[in-house]
C-alpha cells in the first residue's frame, strides 16, 4: 500500500495547501494514529469541485462500457487491498476483521453490479416515439429520450460502513455509474481507510484512462458546507445523522440553484411479532432478534430499535427470554468515542423517561457499549413522544406491548418514516394481518417477512430508503441499482439526425438494449 | 353544464364556509364575470388536504386498471364539455376557440395516455431478485420491488394553459395515475373554467366509484401556502413564474417533513441558426420563427425568447427579414391584465437597457400585446447579465449576433437552465456543429433540430423539464408519461408470502407486465 500522506485528492493530484491537520484515532485505545490529514482549504474545496466539473463533460460522454471498465477496475483494486489494509480499517473502526473482509467483498461486488447495470443499459431509460408525418391535425415529430448524469456529485460517507457506504461505497458507485464525477468528503472516523480506498480509485481511473477529476477527496471538519454550496456541485449523497443530513438539505435548498440531496438519516426499524409466531417459536425469535440487535454493536441503519407485540402470555414470555439472552451478550467497542457518547446519552434519556422501564443490560460504563433492553408504554407511541421516534444508535432495543390489533395499527400509524419494518409471523398470522402490509408500505422503504432488517442485499430490487426522516426523499434508495436514478435526468432529442443520436437511441440499437418504442418494450431495431 | 356556484370541492362535497369571494374576469374587457368564487378558509384547506389523505389508502390500493377507468372517464367528460364551455374558457382567457378546442383534445388525450400507461404497467418499475438459499457465505432472500404513489399531491395550474396545465392537466393526470389524490388550487385567471373541469372530474370519479376526496379543488389567493405546508400533502406540482415556484420550493423545503416540488418556471428557449441553413432558407426561417414567437401571443413556456447566429451577411439579412415579418403581425389580447402588465414591464426593461436595441414592433400601448423584436450585444450573455436570463412572457424575442463558433459556445455556456434549445441547420451544419448538442444537453431538457420549441408533444419520450430555473428539479418532466415518476416511490418486499404480494410482483405475473427478474427484462412467469 502507498504510504499515507494525508493530502487531499484533487483533479488527479495531491494537495495540502492548508496548515491545519486532523488526526485519525485508534478506535479501541482512543489514541491518535501517526497520520496527519490536511484539512482542505476553501481554495482546495473550490479546486476539487472545479476538477469534477471539468471532468464531467468528458466523463459523461464516455460510453457506458468504458465507465463499466472503470468500475470493474475499482472493484479489482478494492479486492487487492490486503491484510494490512484490513488491519488499518479495523484499527480505525474497532470493527472485527471478518466484518471488514465481508464489507470489502460487498463494496467491490457493488461496483461490479453497477458495471453490469451499465452494460445492461436499462439505466438509459431509452424511449422512442417515432415521427407520424401524416397525423391529423398536426404531424408528430420524432422524439427520443435518454438519461444523462446530473453533473458533479458531493458524497458524504458514513462512519458505520467504512467501505460499503464510504469512499468507494454505494453513493460513489451510483454517481460514477451515472456519469457524474465525485467529490468525496472523507469521514473523520476513518481517514486512513479513506486514503487507501481513494488511492485504489485513482489507480483504477488511471488504468482505465478516466479524466483527471473524475474522483476527488477532501479531508477536514466543516468542509462539507462549502462543498454543498459550490455552484459546480449538482447533487449530494449523504449517510449519517438526522441533524447532519437535514443541515445539508437546508443548505442545498437555499442555494441560488437548489440541488437534490439524498440523505439517509434516521430509522428505528420496527419489528412486529405476530400472535401465532410467538406461540410456535418465541424462544428462537428472541435469540434471532437479539443477534440482530447486537450485530455490529447495533451500528446499522437498519438495526431493530422497536419491537411490538400484542399482549399475551406468549409475548410476556418472549420479553423475559429476550431480556435473558440480551443480558448475556458482551459489551463491544463502538466506532469512535463520539458514537459511544451518543449511545450513553441516548440510554440516559431512556432511563430518565417515566414511561420507559429498563428490562436488561449491564450498567453502561467504561469504553464499551453494553447491550440494553427497555420496555415503553404504548401511549408514548400513540402520543408521538419524540423519545420513541429517535434512533438510539447502538446495541439497544425497546419493546412495546399493545392491547389489541386496533392499537397495533394505531401505534404503527404514529411512527415516522422508516427504512424498514419487519413482520414475524406464521401463515395464520399473514392471513389475519395482511392489511398491516398496506399500512406499512406508507411508512417504510422495505418490508420484511420473517427476517431481520440488518443485512441489506445489494441487488436490483433493494430499497434502502423510505419516507422522512429515514431519508430526505422517499423516491430514492442508496443501496441497489435503482440508486443510480438519484443522479440522472432525462433529455429529449427531437428530430435528431441519426448521426448525432447517442448509441442508446440510434435506429439500429447498437447497444442491443431494451427500449420503449412507440409504447412497446423491445430490443428491435427501427 | 351545471351552474357555477363558486364553492370549493372538498371530499366529494361543495363547501363555502368563508365570506370572502373572488371574481373571475372577462379577459378582453377586463370586466368582472357574474360569478363569485369562495376563497377557501384555513379550515377548508385543512379539510381538502385531509380528504385527499383519507382517500389515499383506498385510491392507491385500487388496481391500475381501475385507476385507468377513472382517467378514461375524465377524458370522456372533458370531451363532452361543449361549445358553451369552450366559449367560457375563451371569455376568461382571450384565447381563440380553435386553440381551446385543440387544448381540450390535448387534455383528454393526455388522460387517455396515462390510462394506457397504467394498463401497460411499466410505471410499476417491477423488479424481482429471487432467493438464492444456497449462496455462500450467506443466502439471498427473495426481494421484490415496485412503486407506489407518494400520497396527496398539491397541484398549481398555469394561466396559459387553462385546460392542459390546469385542473385536469398534466400534473393532475400524472398524480392520479400514480395513485395520488389531488388538491388542486384553481388559477385565479380562469376559475369558471376550473369549476366546469372540476365538475367533470368529480362526475368521472362518481361514475367509476372512486373514493370521495380523490380530487379536491380550492379557490382563492394566498391559499397555496397553507396547502403546501399541510402535513398531509406529500408532493407539489406547479407551473408558473420563477418567483412563485421558488417560493413554493422554499416553503416545501422548510417543512418539518420536506416534500418534493416539481415547479416548471422560467425558460427563454434559445434558437441557434446555423450557417448553411441561413444560406439556404433564411426567409422561411424568419417566417417560421416569427410564427413561433407570436403563437398564442407568446404565452408559452417554450416560446423562443433568444435567437443566436454567427455574424454573416446571411444573418444580417435574416434579421432584417424577421424584423419585417414581425412588424406586420397584429397585436393580441393577453391572458389577463396582470400578464399584459408584466409584458409591458419586461419590454420597458429591454428598451431601457443600453446593450439592447429595438428592431421592430409597434409601440406597446393599449389593451393588447404588440409583437416586438430586439437585438442584444453578445457581451450581455457572456457577462451573464440578468436582462437576457429572464423570460419576457409574451410575443417578443431577442436576436444576438456572435462573432465566431467559439463565442457561440461561450454564449451558450453562459445561459441558465432551459426547457428547450433549438438548432436550425442543414446536414453540413450538423457535421460541423455536432459538439454543440453535447453542450446543450447540459443546459436543457429538450433539444430540437429544425423545429420550433412551441408545441410540446404528449408522449412517452417527451421531456418538459430541464435544469434550474427552467424547473426546480431537472430529474422530472411535467409533460409525457415520465411525469408519473415525480409522484412515485419504490418499496421493497422481502420474503413476502405469495398471497400478500401485489399483482405486479406475483410469481404468475397476472398483469403480464415487463419486469426485471434476476437482471433480465421479461414478461415470463416465475
Angle at B229 between CA B393 and CA A469, to 5 degrees: 115
Contact B473 A445 (CB under 8 A): no
**Residues of chain A positioned with their CB less than 8 A from the CB of B477:** 490
Nearest to B250 among A137, A253, A461 (CB): A253
CB contact under 8 A, B519 and A482: no
pLDDT class for A298, splitting at 50, 70, 90? very high
What string of DSSP letters covers B148-177?
A: EE-S-EEEE--SS-TTTTSTTSHHHHHHHH
CA-nearest of A391, A388, A386 to A399 is A388
Residue A431 has pLDDT above 90, yes or no: no
DSSP A189: G
From the list B150, B445, B489, the residue facing A491 with the nearest CB is: B445
Give residue B433's pLDDT: 78
- Bridge partners, residue A171, by sequence: none
Tell me which residue in B120, B260, B516 faces A519 most closely, judged by beta carbons: B120
Instruction: Write out chain B residues lying below 8 Å of A98, CB-based.
Output: none
Contact by Cβ (8 Å): B404, B255: no
CB contact under 8 Å between B493 and A465, yes or no, is no
CB A345 within 8 A of CB A379: no
Cβ contact A460–B145 (<8 Å)? yes
**A370: DSSP letter:** P
| Confidence (pLDDT) at B435 | 84
For A255, nearest residue in chain B (alpha carbons): B250
Joined together, the cell numbers standing for residue A371 give 447491550
The pTM is what? Answer: 0.97
Residues of B in Cβ contact (< 8 Å) with A493: 437, 446-447
The tens digit of pLDDT for each residue in A25-52 reads 999 999 999 999 999 999 999 999 999 9
CA A129/CA A494 separation, integer angstroms: 10
Mutate to test the interface with B, among A474, A511, A520, A522 (most CBs of B within 10 A): A474
The three three-digit cell numbers of residue A286, written as one number:
428472541
Residue located via cell numbers 379539510: B47
Catalytic residue among B264, B314, B391, B401: B264
CA angle at residue B308 from B305 to B312, to 5 degrees? 145
For residue A431, which residues of chain B lie inside 8 Å, CB to CB?
499
CB-count exposure of residue B330 (10 Å: 0-12, 13-18, 19+):
exposed
pLDDT at A360: 97
Contacts of B472 in chain A (CB under 8 A): 258
Q: What average pLDDT does chain A have?
A: 96
Strands (E), A61-142: 127-129
CA distances from B366 to B24, B28, B299 (A): 21, 12, 18
- In this structure, the number of other CB atoms found within 10 A of the CB of residue A319 comes to 20
Confidence at residue B123, expressed as pLDDT on a 0 to 100 scale: 97
State mean pLDDT over A361-373. Answer: 96
Contact: A129, B460; criterion CB under 8 Å? yes
Contact B412, B318 (CB under 8 A): no
Min CA distance, A494 vs chain B (Å)? 5
> Quick check: B399 and B377 in contact, CB under 8 A?
no
Q: Which of B491, B504, B513, B519 to mutate to test the interface with A (most CBs of A within 10 A)?
A: B491
Which residue on chain A is closest to B248 by alpha carbon? A253
| Amino acid A434: pLDDT | 76
Radius of gyration from C-alpha coordinates of chain A: 25
> If DSSP codes are grouped into helix, strand and coil, which group holds residue A512?
coil
Of these residues, B44, B90, B301, B401, which one is catalytic?
Answer: B301
Helix runs in B301-404, H state only: 313-327, 337-352, 378-382, 386-389
Active-site annotation holder among A69, A103, A301, A391: A301
Q: What value, to the nearest 5°, has the Cα angle with vertex B277 and ends B276 and B279?
A: 65
Minimum CA–CA partner of A477 in chain B: B490
d(CA A33, CA A50): 32
Q: How far apart are CA A432 and CA A438, in angstroms?
A: 13
Question: pLDDT tens digits for chain B (526 residues)?
Answer: 889 999 999 999 999 999 999 999 999 999 999 999 999 999 999 999 999 999 999 999 999 999 999 999 999 999 999 999 999 999 999 999 999 999 999 999 999 999 999 999 999 999 999 999 999 889 999 999 999 999 999 999 999 999 999 999 999 999 999 999 999 999 999 999 999 999 999 999 999 999 999 999 999 999 999 999 999 999 999 999 999 999 999 999 999 999 999 999 989 999 999 999 999 999 999 999 999 999 999 999 999 999 999 999 999 999 999 999 999 999 999 999 999 999 999 999 999 999 999 999 999 999 999 999 999 999 999 999 999 998 999 999 999 999 999 999 999 999 999 999 999 999 989 887 778 999 999 999 999 999 999 989 999 999 999 999 999 999 999 999 999 999 999 999 999 999 999 999 999 999 999 999 999 999 999 9
Query: How far from B469 is each of A47, A255, A501, B445, CA to CA, in Å?
Result: 25, 12, 26, 12
Q: Rounded CA gap, A79 and B470, in Å?
A: 44
First vs last Cα of chain A: how many Å apart?
51
Please list, in sequence order, all residues whose beta carbon lies within 8 angstroms of the beta carbon of residue A29, skipping any fewer than 6 positions away: none
Q: At CA B196, angle to CA B195 and CA B198, rounded to 5?
A: 60
* Contacting residues of A for B449, CB less than 8 Å apart: 494-497, 500
Whole-angstrom Cα distance, residue B189 to residue B333? 14
CB-CB contact of A479 with B85 (8 Å): no
Residues of B in contact with A57 (CB under 8 A): 438-439, 442
Cα atoms in the Cβ-side hemisphere of radius 13 Å centred on B423 = 32
> How far apart are the C-alpha atoms of B162 and B99, rounded to whole Å?
11
> Strand, coil or helix: what is B8?
strand
Q: Mind telling me how many Å the CA of B345 is from chain A's nearest CA?
A: 24
Say how far apart CA B504 and CA B485 lie, in whole Å.
17
Examine the residue annotation and report whether B301 is marked as an active-site residue of this protein.
yes
pLDDT of residue A197: 98
Q: Which among B430, B457, B492 has the least Cβ separation from residue A143?
A: B457
The arrangement of strands across the sheet holding A235-239 comes to A13-15, A8-10, A215-218, A182-185, A153-156, A235-239, A261-264
Contact B495 A451 (CB under 8 A): yes
In terms of CA atoms, which chain A residue is nearest residue B140? A457
- Which of B120, B428, B474, B482 would you mutate first to test chain A, the one with the most A CBs within 10 A? B474
pLDDT at A61 over 80: yes
Look at residues A290, A169, A189, A202 and name the one whose alpha carbon lies nearest to residue A244. A189
- Cα end-to-end span (Å), chain B: 51
The 3-state secondary structure of B456-516, one letter per residue: CCCCCCCCCCCCCCCECCCCCCCCCHHHHHHHEEEEEEECCCHHHCCHHHCCCCCCCCCEE
Say how many CB pairs under 8 Å bridge A and B. 220
Residue among A116, A461, A494 minimizing CB distance to B143: A461
Catalytic annotation, pick one of A264, A314, A391, A401: A264
pLDDT of residue B226: 98
Residues of B in contact with A455 (CB under 8 A): 138
* Inter-residue contact B40 to B191 (CB < 8 Å): no
Pairing of strands B153-156, B182-185: parallel
CB nearest A449 (choices: B260, B417, B496): B496
Quote the CA–CA distance of A193 and B10 in Å, as a whole number: 57
Which of A445, A449, A457 is opposite residue B497, by nearest beta carbon? A449
| For range A338-348, the mean pLDDT | 96
DSSP state of B245: H
Chain B hits for A485, CB-CB cut-off 8 Å, are 475
Report CB contact under 8 Å: A141, B427: no
Which percentage of chain A shows pLDDT scores above 90? Answer: 96
The DSSP 8-state label assigned to residue A255 in this structure reads S
User: Is B368 assigned a catalytic role?
Assistant: no
Residue A151 CB neighbours (<10 A): 25
pLDDT of residue B17: 96
What's the grid cell of residue A304? 431493530
Flag if B449 and A477 touch (Cβ within 8 Å).
no
Amino acid at each position: 500500500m502507498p504510504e499515507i500522506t494525508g493530502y487531499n485528492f484533487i483533479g488527479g493530484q495531491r494537495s495540502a495547501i492548508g496548515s491545519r491537520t486532523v488526526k485519525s484515532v485508534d478506535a479501541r485505545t482512543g489514541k491518535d494514529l501517526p497520520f496527519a490529514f490536511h484539512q482542505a482549504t476553501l481554495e482546495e474545496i473550490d479546486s476539487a469541485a472545479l476538477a469534477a466539473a471539468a471532468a464531467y463533460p468528458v466523463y459523461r460522454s464516455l460510453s457506458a462500457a468504458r465507465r463499466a471498465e472503470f468500475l470493474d477496475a475499482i472493484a479489482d483494486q478494492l479486492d487487492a487491498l490486503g491484510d494490512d489494509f484490513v488491519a488499518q480499517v479495523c484499527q480505525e473502526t474497532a470493527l472485527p476483521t471478518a466484518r471488514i473482509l465481508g464489507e470489502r467483498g460487498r463494496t467491490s461486488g457493488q461496483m461490479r453490479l453497477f458495471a453490469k447495470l451499465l452494460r445492461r443499459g436499462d439505466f438509459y431509460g431509452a424511449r422512442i416515439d417515432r415521427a407520424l408525418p401524416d397525423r391529423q391535425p398536426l404531424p408528430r415529430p420524432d422524439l427520443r429520450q435518454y438519461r444523462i448524469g446530473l453533473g458533479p456529485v458531493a458524497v458524504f460517507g458514513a462512519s458505520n460502513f467504512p467501505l460499503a457506504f464510504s469512499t468507494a461505497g454505494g453513493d460513489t458507485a451510483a454517481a460514477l455509474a451515472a456519469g457524474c464525477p465525485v467529490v468525496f468528503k472523507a469521514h473523520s472516523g476513518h481517514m486512513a481507510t479513506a486514503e487507501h480506498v481513494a488511492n485504489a480509485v485513482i489507480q483504477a481511473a488511471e488504468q482505465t484512462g478516466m479524466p483527471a477529476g473524475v474522483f476527488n477527496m477532501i479531508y477536514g471538519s466543516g468542509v462539507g458546507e462549502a462543498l454543498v454550496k459550490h455552484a459546480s456541485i449538482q447533487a449530494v449523497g449523504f449517510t449519517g445523522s438526522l441533524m447532519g443530513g437535514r443541515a445539508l438539505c437546508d443548505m442545498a435548498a437555499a442555494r441560488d440553484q437548489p440541488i437534490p440531496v439524498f440523505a439517509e438519516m434516521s430509522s428505528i426499524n420496527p419489528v412486529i411479532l405476530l400472535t401465532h409466531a410467538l406461540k410456535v417459536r418465541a424462544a428462537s425469535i428472541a435469540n434471532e432478534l437479539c443477534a440482530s440487535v447486537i450485530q455490529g454493536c447495533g451500528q446499522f441503519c437498519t438495526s431493530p430499535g422497536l419491537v411490538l407485540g400484542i399482549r399475551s402470555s406468549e409475548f410476556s414470555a418472549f420479553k423475559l427470554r429476550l431480556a435473558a439472552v440480551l443480558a448475556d451478550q458482551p459489551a463491544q467497542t463502538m466506532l469512535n468515542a463520539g458514537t459511544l457518547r451518543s449511545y450513553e446519552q441516548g440510554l440516559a434519556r431512556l432511563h430518565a423517561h417515566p414511561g420507559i422501564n429498563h428490562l436488561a443490560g449491564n450498567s453502561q460504563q467504561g469504553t464499551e457499549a453494553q447491550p440494553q433492553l427497555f420496555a415503553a408504554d404504548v401511549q408514548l407511541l400513540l402520543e408521538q413522544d419524540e423519545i420513541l421516534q429517535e434512533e438510539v444508535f447502538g446495541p439497544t432495543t425497546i419493546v412495546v406491548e399493545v392491547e389489541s390489533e386496533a392499537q397495533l395499527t394505531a401505534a404503527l400509524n404514529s411512527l415516522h418514516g422508516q427504512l424498514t419494518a419487519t413482520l414475524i409471523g406464521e401463515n395464520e398470522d399473514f392471513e389475519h394481518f395482511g392489511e398491516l402490509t398496506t399500512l406499512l408500505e406508507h411508512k417504510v422503504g422495505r418490508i420484511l417477512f420473517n427476517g431481520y432488517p440488518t443485512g441489506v442485499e445489494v441487488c436490483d430490487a433493494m430499497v434502502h430508503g423510505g419516507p422522512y426522516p429515514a431519508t430526505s426523499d422517499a423516491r430514492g434508495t442508496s443501496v441497489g441499482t435503482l440508486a443510480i436514478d438519484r443522479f440522472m435526468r432525462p433529455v429529449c432529442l427531437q428530430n435528431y439526425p441519426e448521426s448525432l443520436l447517442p448509441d442508446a437511441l440510434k435506429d439500429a440499437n447498437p447497444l442491443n438494449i431494451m427500449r420503449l418504442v412507440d409504447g412497446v418494450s423491445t430490443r428491435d431495431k427501427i
